[in-house]
Amino acid sequence: MRFCFSQKARVMQRFFVVFIIMLSLSACSSTNTRDIPANLPDQIGVNATLTQASTIATVDQPAPAFTWRDAQGTTRQLADYRGQRVILNMWATWCEPCRSEMPDLDRVHGRNDVVVIGINKGQNIDVIPPFIDEIGVSFPLISDPDGDVSLAYGVRNLPTSVFIDREGFVRTISIGILSADALTLQLERLP
């Protein structure tokens, strides 16, 4: 049986095919390219993204690699900090224990080869600038709106801090608030 399409039906069919192709192309090109909001403070990074499929982080294994874009649009990665001791601190603006440990984390950031990177779990980038104004930290705070990076580090509770040595290996995962003394102790144990 042979169908005979009217000219109107053929035009609609072509339109539909072009629409599907355009939709497919736009989906392929939009891999984590969310816009960076204007006037973002320098220490804010956006869209933490795993660089490869990863198992959940475990002690004495390489830290799962991820990237983000800084306020100027430059792509950064965890590997940029090799040779330094890194504390990844998973937090959220609504988390009171997270807020209370931020000043202690800020005090160790930049001292004795220590870098603190705050990973905001599952919140929109818009909540971070007011948080910085309120709390006043200087270390990088990066949005992880989809929670992929937090998930790769096994984060279920906030705050969670992951201590990474100079070679890029996870050495300690600390769940819950870190007192100044506990933070000092963990850093002393981190080669």
The 10 Å Cβ neighbour count of residue 9 is: 11
First-to-last alpha carbon distance for the chain, in angstroms, is 77
State how far the Cα of 13 lies from the Cα of 160, in Å rounded to an integer.
Answer: 54
Task: Give catalytic status of residue 98 as yes or no.
Answer: yes
* Active-site hit among 4, 28, 95, 98: 98
43-78: burial string, b at 16+ Cβ within 10 Å, e else: bbbbbbbbeeebeebeeeeebbbbbbbbbeeeebeb
Query: What pairing do the DSSP bridges indicate for beta strands 114-121 and 66-70?
Result: unpaired
HEC-encoded secondary structure of 105-142: HHHHCCCCCEEEEEEEECCCHHHHHHHHHHHCCCCCEE
The 10 Å Cβ neighbour count of residue 170 is: 21
Catalytic residue annotation:
98
